[in-house]
Amino acid sequence: MIRRTVVNGALLASSLPAVGRLRRALKDPRKAQEALLLRHLSANAPSSFAREHGLARVRTLREFQDAVPPRDFDAHLPWIRRAMAGERGVLTAEPVKLFEVTSGSSGAAKHIPYTASLQRQFRGAVGAWLGELALERPAVMAGPSYWSVTPLARAPSRTEGGVPVGFASDAEVLGGWVGRLMERRLAVPSAVALCGELESALYASARFLLQEPDLRFVSVWNPSFLTLLLSRITADAERLL
């Protein structure tokens, strides 16, 4: 209990700066978003995408909207494929750390490039969310949690250019010491995701969850997966219990 309290306290402390930034930004969202846009444009000015769209000359949101019209994922595939082939400086000036695969309810899987900066921003966004939750509902954050962000039983792989595909665990999505702290709060160990087969991973996940009497928080980023997991618990109830 003492160790859990220390971990929860450390996670809350790490989230407070992100909560503060969010609250300040909410006082003038447009100003905050435009400032963030200009920082991104400046940092990525050397990239092929920025050069092809003349983004070095962009100084306002309207100019950016004129330079980069709305596109779907398929329209970005030429740049995505170059980055997957190992070419640097295509969509971002920063190297691509890995590609995460998303698969919605329809269509082919999409490879989303992750950089170290994007991971830090993602960690900040999750930190603001969890920090606000901890401040408003401290009991929710006082016990173990279950996260399902990355696909279960996914074999390690790389793109044709040698770039890793996928995070090794849900905790790794956050990365750094925050991810390591989060690992200590998980009701289902990250190692379950390394099971070679989906059926085995589902069974192990269900077993760990049913053995946790104090589960406080569930975050599943693919609703259909939660339905699948609950169905498996119902179907295997006798074995699991």
What are the start-end ranges of the H helices in the chain? Answer: 2-25, 29-43, 48-52, 61-67, 77-84, 116-136, 170-174, 176-183, 198-210, 223-235, 237-240
Query: Are the C-beta atoms of 135 and 22 separated by less than 8 Å?
Result: no
pLDDT score for 174: 77
Q: Binning pLDDT at 50, 70 and 90, where does residue 195 land?
A: confident
Tens digits of per-residue pLDDT, 50-71? 999 999 999 999 999 999 999 9
Tens digits of per-residue pLDDT, 134-165? 899 988 888 889 988 887 777 789 999 999 99
pLDDT score for 172: 79
Q: Binning pLDDT at 50, 70 and 90, where does residue 105 land?
A: very low
